[in-house]
A and B are shown apart, each in its own frame.
Chain A
Amino acid sequence: MTIDTPETSGGPQVFSEARYAEVERSEEFGRLRKLLRGFVFPVTIAFFVWYALYVVLSAYARDFMGTKIVGNINVGLVFGLLQFVSTFLIAWWYARWASQKFDPLADELRHEMERPEVTP
């Protein structure tokens, strides 16, 4: 029994097109794809709409944005600062989601591909 050790030095490991196609069709990969798209697409749409709302209100709802809340701090300023807060929160949320949900599954698939093929 011999073990084909994958080429590790001098560049990345090379897989055949057939191997990639096989993995792409697999159920596990389908889950990984669904997992990724199920998170990043809705979150992207959400933060884009939230940002667009801010820009549109800045253009068309001047009185509302100029309403003072405390002292000289008005709605527009708070809204703007909330964009910073939401950006930081989404980044943190994504990082947590990725390391807890996405990475383990992606790693599993990669390790499976990188595992040396055992030939009789």
Chain B
Amino acid sequence: MNAREITIVLFVVLVIVTLGITVWAGRQTKSAVDFYAGGRSFSGFQNGMAIGGDYMSAASFLGIAGIIALSGYDGFLYSIGFLVAWLVALLLIAELMRNSGKYTMADVLAFRMRQRPVRTAAAVSTITVSIFYLLAQMVGAGALVALLLGIKPGATFLGMDADTAKIATIILVGALMITYVTVGGMKGTTYVQIVKAVLLMSGAAVMTLLVLSAFKFNLSDLLGDAARQSGKGDAFLQPGLRYGVESSDAVKTFYSKMDLLSLGIALVLGTAGLPHILIRFYTVPNARAARKSVLWAIAIIGTFYLMTLALGFGAAALVGGKAITAQDKAGNIAAPLLAQNLGERYLGGETGGAVLLAVIAAVAFATILAVVAGLTLASSSSLAHDFYANVVKRGEASERQEVVVARVSAFGIGAVSIVLAIFAQSLNVAFLVALAFAVAASGNLPAILYSLFWKRFTTTGAVAAIYGGLVSAVVLVFFSPVVSGTPTAMFPNNDWHWFPLSNPGIISIPLGFLCGYIGTMLSRDPGAEEKYAELEVRSLTGAGAH
């Protein structure tokens, strides 16, 4: 068997196992709390693993390893931001959110506010963030699977050329995520994420050990070889090859550095505002278990990002930048190529290489599936619980109706994402993940923090924070160089950009906080102030929590 055949066998096994889990979980999903929150029956450790599975996307596995392999040190900045962000969730959000909410992010935001405007805003923001993220993952999945199966332009596979194979992959990934969510609900999704976390951590650990042993566990030698092979010398081990690039143009240098700061802020503040992460806190029985989940998540995610460091520098040293960019300019293929290289080195020739490559390809596929399932669940929960049950039906919908609507929504959102991803597949949509983080940090995070900690906060303030942050982030990105005006933009042949930064965070995050503040100061909401007593006591003590 060659690598492609082994990869396909592993893909099939993975699909069968995850579908089996989903059907099993579906049988135990009866009530709304089962569908939305997995019956709140998961332990802190299980949920910590699932959070890892939900969070560590293909963008962070293949993407960060790729950035490190091609740009060295700068990839490290990403992983640090993604990890430190968890302290915000741990210290300020996880436990309080678990105590005060029920199924969605909006449960906390609308707790003491007028339901309809706040739930509508939260649903709009949840669905926007999730769809952006989902699109990036699905388009990435299409390109990735074509790449992993080695379907080169011009060649065919099962009668499909590379473009058809990409579309087929997008449809397959979409169909699987719809099935996981509609059939398995939160329970099915959680188990898929746990399986993925185990696979990803094991795969990364094996590769890390092989890389380190190739350099006799001497980190300095690994870095030295990586720098030499990269052709960039010591600059490879220093900041500045990719972000905050210095050039002779002072204005350009200034913007480039601002962009780096902007990215750094969005990464660290975005995580705690991502709806698909926040709803994971509801799957455990109480606040203490939510705390344990985040502690485990920090341990797992931190270990993982340390390993990507070894993988990235290992790929640079052993595979080399030239061989990587020859197959994929973005560097996403770095980790799979490293797997092949290590397999050949340690598991015995070409077969060994093929086996390890296939395993890592399957791990990457599992990674994508778990993340898209989490995103689909978050957006359909919000559509059903926030928009349908509380805005359209004004809280009069029965649990049964809600779950039916949630399942239909998952199907609808999945179908829409498949269509959008197919249309977007030839466009460069990698920036959508950063945009999702920026929207989460600019709109959701201010609203959540004000809700939990500021008694005076009002309905107008909440709505202003969410829309203010959301709109400013989206508008700034629309007029930024990632959408138009540069060779790597989404529309490289047009130019309507006037905003100089790729990441809007440095403007839109303060703006979101400011909108929430001004909206509050210009309004009065005595009901919200009165009900803060209930929110505060409940969030801190857990008395009356669901």
Chain A residues with CB under 8 Å of chain B are 11-15, 17, 20-21, 23-25, 29, 32-33, 36-37, 40, 43-44, 47-48, 51-52, 54-56, 58-60, 62, 65-66, 70-74, 76-77, 80, 83-84, 87-88, 90-91, 94-95, 98, 103, 106-107, 109-110, 113-114
Contacts and interface: CB of A to CB of B under 8 A. Distances in A.
B295 A91 contact: yes
A48 B268 contact: yes
A24 to B, nearest CB: 4
B546 A47 contact: no
Which of B86, B237, B537, B538 has the most C-beta atoms of chain A within 10 angstroms of its own C-beta? B537
A87 B302 contact: yes
A44 B268 CA distance: 12
Contact of A106 (B76, B86, B244, B541): B541
A42 B432 CA distance: 33
Nearest to A29: B537
A72 B544 contact: no
Q: Which of B238, B298, B530 has the most CB of A within 10 A?
A: B238
A16 B39 CA distance: 26
A15 B541 CA distance: 13
A20 B538 contact: yes
A21 B533 contact: yes
A5 to B, nearest CB: 16
A84 B306 contact: yes
Contacts of B238: 62, 65-66, 74, 76
Contact of B84 (A14, A87, A107): A87
Contact of B224 (A66, A71, A95, A114): A71
Given A17-B533, A33-B540, A80 B80 contact: yes
Contacts of A113: 537, 541, 543-544
A110 B91 contact: no
B117 to A, nearest CB: 22
13 contacts: A11-B546, A13-B544, A15-B543, A15-B544, A21-B530, A43-B91, A44-B92, A54-B80, A65-B238, A71-B223, A84-B306, A87-B86, A90-B87
Contacts of A98: 291
Given A17-B534, A24-B537, A91 B298 contact: yes
B219 A73 contact: yes
A58 B244 contact: yes
In order of increasing CB-CB distance, the 9 nearest A-B pairs are A71-B220, A55-B264, A24-B533, A66-B238, A58-B239, A20-B534, A72-B223, A110-B541, A40-B91
A96 to B, nearest CB: 11
Given A87-B84, A114-B543, 19 more contacts: A15-B534, A20-B533, A24-B533, A36-B540, A37-B453, A51-B268, A59-B261, A60-B257, A62-B239, A65-B239, A73-B223, A76-B238, A77-B223, A80-B73, A84-B306, A87-B86, A87-B298, A110-B543, A113-B544
B88 interface: yes
B228 to A, nearest CB: 10
B76 A80 contact: yes
Interface string B59-99: 00000000000000100110011011011101110000000
